[in-house]
Amino acid sequence: MTLAHLIRTFVRRHAAAYAAAGVMLLAIALLTVWMPRQIGHLVDALVARELAGPALWRELALLIGAGVLIYLLRVGWRIRLYAAAYQMGVELRRRLYARLAEQGPRFYQTRRTGDLMALATNDVDAVEMAAGEAMLAGFDGTLTLLLVVATMALGVDWRLAAIALLPFPLMAWSFAWISHHVHDRSRDALERFGDLNDHVQETLTGVRTLRTLGLEARSSRRFAELAGAAARASYESQRWEARYEPAVGMTLVTAIVLSLGLGGWLVWYGELTIGQLTSFGLYLTQLIWPMFAAGWVLALWERGRAAWTRLSAVLDEPLAIDDDGTVATVHPGEIVLRDVHFCYPGNTSAALSGLSLHIEPGSTLGLVGPTGSGKSTLIKLLLRQWMPQSGGISWGGVALADHTLEALRAGIAWVPQEPILFSASVAENIALARPSATRAEIEAVAELAAVHEDIARLPQGYDTPVGERGVTLSGGQRQRVAIARALLADAPLLLLDDALSAVDTETEHRILAHLHDQRQGRTVIVVSHRLSALADADQIAVLRHGHLAERGTHEELLAKGVAHGWYAQQWRIQQLEASIEQD
């Protein structure tokens, strides 16, 4: 979809606002064209001494009244038109946000957060200006130009009008040349602003790491470089836009010189009155706005076009995961993986290969294995963040792909290793999935997540703001608050992807014991590197190199793999490490 098509569609949907603004602009143009002609008649009457006293004052009052009416109409069309144009900004931001919310990890691997934020600010503003300011200036300027030129030719003298328009083709050529460069420079300016925005976002997110490594000076230098590049790009864009004005000025001066030369000759030979020449001169000054409007419209349009090119690339990018399922309700049951094969884009080795697994409903599955064995990948496939290249995954007898994404994700509570908390109170973060939850319900899940006592020690308890990304809490507290949030969601499937890595062993055992006692039919999958934490799991699956290497209860895996099993070997190593730490 082009920018022109986007704006046409928007104008049709807001036809009443644009029509009202157009009627007011038409009235302004007619009054603007009428005033110089009336002034010319007034001048001729004064020269002929045919106007004096009350009649003169009535004519002047009429002109003043027309000026006041023009002012009121200009206020009116701005209110009507800009209200509609701002609505376009709202709609575009909603579309962009909805699209970003639907995209999967593959999309965000190739997109920078700061640049996406720039799309929602500068780029949307540029499109909004094209739909508002540019539409207005284009309509007003074109209407004024046509009426003024028609009045000059038909109401004053066609010869003067013809010679005054001689420089206009040159101005049109200049505008076309300048517009091409404005488009390129505007796109570059938007991209440089995205780079700057991305650096600021990354710096603020990782400010602790930068301070720890002593990289503040280097980060500041990088910021200065990006800020300078953004400033230079914006300057280049503005420099090209500034060339519209000299083109207009040269055209206008040439038109005035040519028309005054011919007009003076016509007055000398009595073919034109002084009042008519005065009117024509005033009409020429009224052409200043249409000519400036043309430059302004082209500048806004090229900015909008450059911004829409960037925006449409994101809005039109296909979803990484198609949401074409039809089952709108999850029916909890057995989770079955059949010969699942998955390889990340750009990788040659498979993250999961030939994986088959059955998970009974209401059971707890421990998922273990060395780093890179495919544990987190399996969690991502269950969440449908990625789709397997072959094989199938079903839940309750229904393929995951047959569920709508909304239904599937509503049925799963997921806690990643690095949970995200928002700039709100602790209670609001826990109640994120259920804003209507009572304080008693919030405290109950906090008890299960072994974080209630920590929260009680905070300055304002559950009403304590946690700061952006939970910066005021420790890593273990953030993980436990996220677990409490997942428990409050009361989803039939709970996924803990190494979500207890930042807590001590004793706390981990307490949380998992609470989950085991209070699961109430909920299926739980726990990824952990601490094997002792999974000793009470109903089943434990060991992944190695994307394959299911071992499966069984804790006792069965120790009995089967005393000599060579990875689980048994890892268990002995961890037990030895624990005994050394105790000594």
Q: What is the C-alpha to C-alpha distance for residues 186 and 53, in angstroms, rounded to an integer?
A: 57
Q: Which long-range contacts (CB under 8 A, 24 or more apart) does 451-456 make?
A: 451/477, 451/480, 451/481, 451/483, 451/484, 454/480, 455/426, 455/481
The three-state DSSP-derived secondary structure of 211-268 is HHHCCHHHHHHHHHHHHHHHHHHHHHHHHHHCCHHHHHHHHHHHHHHHHHHHHHHHHH
Domains present along the chain, CATH in parentheses: 3-315 (1.20.1560.10), 327-411+494-503+526-583 (3.40.50.300), 417-490 (3.40.50.300)
| 43/282 Cα distance (integer angstroms) | 12
- pLDDT at position 63: 78
pLDDT digit string, tens, across residues 297-312: 777 888 888 888 888 8
Residues in a beta bridge with 552: 540
Predicted confidence at residue 53, as pLDDT, reads 67
The predicted-structure confidence for 242-276, as pLDDT tens digits, reads as follows 777 777 777 777 777 777 777 677 767 677 666 66
Residue 519: what pLDDT? Answer: 66
pLDDT at 541: 92
Neighbours of 206 (CB within 10 A): 14
Under a CB-based contact definition with an 8 Å cutoff, are residues 368 and 542 in contact? yes
What tokens does 580 get?
Answer: 């050394």
Q: Name the band, by pLDDT with cuts 50, 70 and 90, for residue 367.
A: very high
**What is the pLDDT averaged over residues 509-520?**
77
Can you give the pLDDT at residue 339? 92
Closest CA to 25 of 73, 83, 66: 73
Give the chain's radius of gyration (CA, Å).
36
Residue 477 has what pLDDT?
Answer: 85
pLDDT surpassing 60 at residue 122: yes
Q: What is the mean pLDDT of residues 465-479?
A: 79
The residue with greater pLDDT, 271 or 509, is 509
In the predicted model, what is the mean pLDDT of residues 100-112?
Answer: 80
The per-residue pLDDT for range 153-170, each reduced to its tens digit, is: 766 666 777 777 777 777
pLDDT band at 543 (very low <50, low <70, confident <90, very high): very high
314/472: higher pLDDT: 314
pLDDT at 555: 87
- Residue 467's pLDDT band, with cuts at 50, 70 and 90, is confident
- Mean pLDDT is highest, among 139-143, 259-263, 548-552, for 548-552
Report how far residue 60's alpha carbon sits from residue 122's, in angstroms, rounded to the nearest whole number.
47
**For residue 44, is pLDDT > 70?**
no
CA 365/CA 359 separation, integer angstroms: 7
Query: Is 528 or 290 the better-scoring residue by pLDDT?
Result: 528
Give the separation between CA 339 and CA 354, rounded to whole angstroms.
4
Lookup result for tokens 């038909």:
154
Residue 41's pLDDT band (boundaries 50, 70, 90)?
A: low
- Report the alpha-carbon distance of residue 30 to residue 69 in Å, rounded: 12
b/e 371-392 (16+ beta carbons within 10 angstroms → b):
eebbbbbbbbbbbbbbebeebe
Residue 126 has pLDDT above 60, yes or no: yes
Which range among 74-88, 89-103, 134-148, 193-207 has the greatest average pLDDT? 89-103
Contact criterion met (CB below 8 Å) for 569 and 542:
no
The percent of residues above 90 in pLDDT, for the chain, comes to 4
Nearest to 238 by CA among 194, 307, 300, 191: 300
DSSP 8-class letter at 403: B
Strand-pair partners of 432? none
Query: Is the confidence at residue 583, as pLDDT, over 60?
Result: no
Across-strand partners of 524?
A: 364, 494
pLDDT at 341 over 90: yes
List of residues 6+ apart from 55 with CB closer than 8 A: none
Helices 288-315, 135-151: crossing angle, 10 deg rounding: 150
* Mean pLDDT, rounded, for 69-86: 78
3-state SS of 23-76 is: HHHHHHHHHHHHHHHHHHHHHHHHHCCCCCCHHHHHHHHHHHHHHHHHHHHHHH
Of 121-125, 256-260, 478-482, 572-576, which gets the smallest average pLDDT?
256-260
CB 407 within 8 A of CB 330: yes
Tokens of 386: 């990625």
Name the most confidently modeled range: 16-25, 184-193, 520-529.
520-529
Residue 287's pLDDT band (boundaries 50, 70, 90)? confident
Question: What is the rounded distance in angstroms from the CA atom of residue 446 to the CA atom of residue 481?
Answer: 7
Task: Give pTM, 2 decimals.
Answer: 0.70
Mean of pLDDT over the chain: 81
Cα separation of the two ends of the chain: 70
